[in-house]
Amino acid sequence: MKKIYNPKPENWAEILKRPTQTVADIEATVNEIFSEIKSKGDLAVKKYTQLFDGISIENLLVSKEEIDIAEKQVSTELKDAINLAKTNIEKFHSAQKTERITIETTEGVVCWQEKRPIQKVGLYIPGGSAPLFSTVLMLAVPANIADCNEIILCTPPDKEGKINPAILYTANLCGVTKIFKIGGIQAIGAMTFGTETIPSVYKIFGPGNQFVTVAKQIATKYGVAIDMPAGPSELLVFADETANASFVASDLLSQAEHGADSQVILVTTLEKLLNSVEKEIQKQLGVLPRKTIAEKAIENSKLILVKTNSEAINLINEYAPEHLIMVSKDEDFFLKNIQNAGSVFIGNFTPESAGDYASGTNHTLPTNGYAKQYSGVNLDSFMKSMTFQKISEKGIQNIGKAIEIMAENEGLQAHKNAVTLRLESLKQCQVERSRNLN
């Protein structure tokens, strides 16, 4: 990891760069594949699955028989762990439900807001060397709580054309409607346009590599919403003298092993701790099964020494990490001043991997600095808010004049007329009632 000592704020943007390609670098490839999927459907999906995953798939849809076989292959121990995590995720996301909000803004003018589920959602689950069945929990559980009608899941097959049994077991457990053996750009394209086999969806969720991230962004040009631009994983740790160096190193490596394009950063005010963490990383790295992957990520990573906590928090907010671990005697200072982070982990005994699996929070989070403007996935991600209003005769009389004046000043006469006709109708009714009384 590169050591950086007391960097000046004007250099932060350069030293905090992510090791990712730009949209422009990948866009041409995505557009080419999207165009072919749009015109050729399943044929194009199978072509690119063969090209990128090295496997020819005849039936893209996972069958019930495959799901039944997978369930038998998952150990009882793993099933118990998955169920524990599912319970905690359900608790946390169920607590995010909100009731209908109703307010009478003016006498006779009642407005309210209700939430409705997004009817068709697509979940992208990375596969490859680390099949992320935990991401199935993070996406399918809140989708079910939101009561989405159709939950489509796409995940890349292995070299034998199969899906990891834990992914199939978890997807079935969480009520996924259909599971398809496709990954990468072709999966995003299929859920965007729909094919003979794969339904189109209204919103696509899930993390992925740089190609998946760009594909999701381009999908928005075709009327499909996305959760966020979620790309390669990243972690920033702030630690002071209260931190355990071996814990910090283990957290940094836990993200580094995700992929060669992951990035991890340590920020500290203590050079002694910086050096201790560096030694621990080398010690722990040597025994990791995914050592080669982690080593490549470490090349893109930084150990940064700053002078003060204030400087540290400003640097953290500038970086806007996907995951932020804070271990500090001045915990309250950091909690009060952190503005930009996807998910925050506090104290020596709160590893980032707890959020990845079983604490209950969601691990699908904004990366690449998008934590400055995006939230992580939550229950509301699977819902949309709808507003309603009902105005009585008294209500239109109370706000009608204001509407007429505003519409006239914007030059929108039809808007004004829609109110004027109603007000005149009410006046006429009042005149007629007066005559009848007389």
The string of pLDDT tens digits covering residues 343-391 is 999 999 999 999 999 999 999 999 999 999 999 999 999 999 999 999 9
| Residues belonging to the active site | 322-323
- In whole angstroms, what separates CA 177 from the centre of its chain? 20
Q: What is the mean pLDDT of residues 90-103?
A: 97
pLDDT, residue 434, reads: 81
Element (H, E) at 388: strand 383-391
Residue 397 marked in a binding site: no
User: Same domain for 94 and 191?
Assistant: yes
323 is in an annotated binding site: yes
Model confidence at 57, in pLDDT bands (50, 70, 90)? very high
Pairing of strands 150-154, 178-180: parallel
Q: Label the pairing between strands 203-205 and 150-154.
A: unpaired
- Report the CATH number at residue 405: 1.20.5.1300
Q: What is the pLDDT of residue 22?
A: 66
Over range 118-125, report the average pLDDT.
98
- Paired residues of 266 in beta bridges: 237, 303
Domain termination residue (choose one: 199, 230, 261):
230
Q: Which two tokens stand for residue 387?
A: 């507003």
Determine the pLDDT at residue 128. Answer: 67
Q: What is the pLDDT of residue 177?
A: 97
For residues 144-173, average pLDDT: 96
> Residue 356 annotated as binding?
yes
Domain boundary at 204, 230, 256, which? 230
The SS3 call for residue 96 is coil
Question: 438 pLDDT exceeds 70?
Answer: no
Distance CA(325)–CA(243), nearest Å, equals: 11
Mean pLDDT of 117-121: 98
Would you say 363 is a known binding-site residue?
no
Domain extent, residue 320, equals: 2-20+232-360
* Least confident window among 22-26, 31-35, 186-190, 213-217: 22-26
Does 194 lie in the same domain as 55? yes
Any bridge partners for residue 16, and if so which? none
Q: Return the percentage of the chain with pLDDT > 70, whole number.
A: 99
Residue 377 lies in a domain: no
End position of a domain, from candidates 179, 202, 230: 230
Please tell me the predicted confidence (pLDDT) of residue 385: 97
* Residue 217 among known ligand-binding residues: no
Where helices occur in 268-330 by DSSP H, the ranges are 271-285, 291-299, 309-319
CATH number for the domain including 353? 3.40.50.1980
Beta carbons within 8 Å of 57's beta carbon, 6+ residues apart = 46, 49, 50, 157, 161, 181, 182
Query: What are the start-end ranges of the E strands in 186-341?
Result: 203-205, 225-226, 234-239, 263-268, 302-305, 323-327
Residue 178 tokens, joined:
């259909």
Estimate the share of the chain in helix, then strand, then coil, as percent rounded to the nearest 5: 50, 15, 35
What pLDDT, in 10s, does the model give residues 248-282?
Answer: 999 999 999 988 889 999 999 999 999 999 999 99
Band of pLDDT at residue 34, cut at 50, 70 and 90: very high
pLDDT at 178: 98
Q: Does the annotation flag 233 for ligand binding?
A: yes
pLDDT of residue 437: 77
Q: Is residue 149 part of a domain?
A: yes
- Same domain for 273 and 218: no
Q: Do 61 and 193 have their domain in common? A: yes
Residue 210 sits in the same domain as residue 244: no
> What is residue 318's three-state secondary structure?
helix
pLDDT in tens, 161-208: 999 999 999 999 999 999 999 999 999 999 999 999 999 999 999 988
Tell me what pLDDT residue 217 has. 93
Q: For residue 3, what pLDDT band results from cuts at 50, 70 and 90?
A: very high
Q: Say if residue 339 is in the same domain as residue 280.
A: yes
Asked if pLDDT for residue 152 goes beyond 70, the answer is yes
CA-to-CA distance for 325 and 348, rounded, in angstroms? 9
pLDDT at 230 over 80: no
Who's near 168: CB < 8 A, 6+ residues apart? 62, 66, 67, 70, 71, 179
Arithmetic mean of pLDDT over the chain:
95
pLDDT, tens digit, 9 for 90 and up, residues 61-89: 999 999 999 999 999 999 999 999 999 99
Give phi and psi for 24, each to the nearest 5.
Answer: -60, -35
* 137 and 48 housed in the same domain: yes
Q: What is the rounded average pLDDT of the residues 238-243?
A: 98
| pTM, 2 dp | 0.92
Q: Is residue 417 part of a domain?
A: yes
